[in-house]
Amino acid sequence: MITLLDVLVQLFVFIVGIGGLIVVVLYFIDRTQTTHAIRRNYPVIGRFRYLFEKLGEFFRQYFFAMDREELPFNRAERTWVYRAAKNTDNTTAFGSTRDLRPVGTIMFANTMFPR
């Protein structure tokens, strides 16, 4: 007689087996692809990079340094370099994250003769 516990145990083993099979397939896919170095060097775990980059915006907002506070290269500069290296659009809006209050900061106005 099959009890509920036996069915649950078999279901658990089946789900864990499917999960393990998925991890093995992802491992071989990551090791054989040639476009992403991180996924090739760190298979399966390298896929979490994109999730952590997205979550990093949240954590930096509340816990860590802002985009222009890191040294020697801040996050804004690194993001620009990454986009330039990938031959994507690397133009950024000026003044969006910079502090514009210091004396001597160049300001662009959208008029010929600002008041």
Convert the pLDDT of each residue in 50-82 to its tens digit: 888 888 777 766 666 666 666 777 777 888 888
Q: What is the Rg, in whole angstroms, of the alpha carbon atoms belonging to the chain?
A: 24
Q: What is the pLDDT of residue 89?
A: 76
Which stretches of the chain drop beneath a pLDDT of 50? none
Q: How far is 56 from 84, CA to CA, in rounded Å?
A: 21
Q: How many CB atoms lie within 10 A of CB 47?
A: 15
Q: How far is 78 from 33, CA to CA, in rounded Å?
A: 25
Q: What is the pLDDT of residue 27?
A: 96
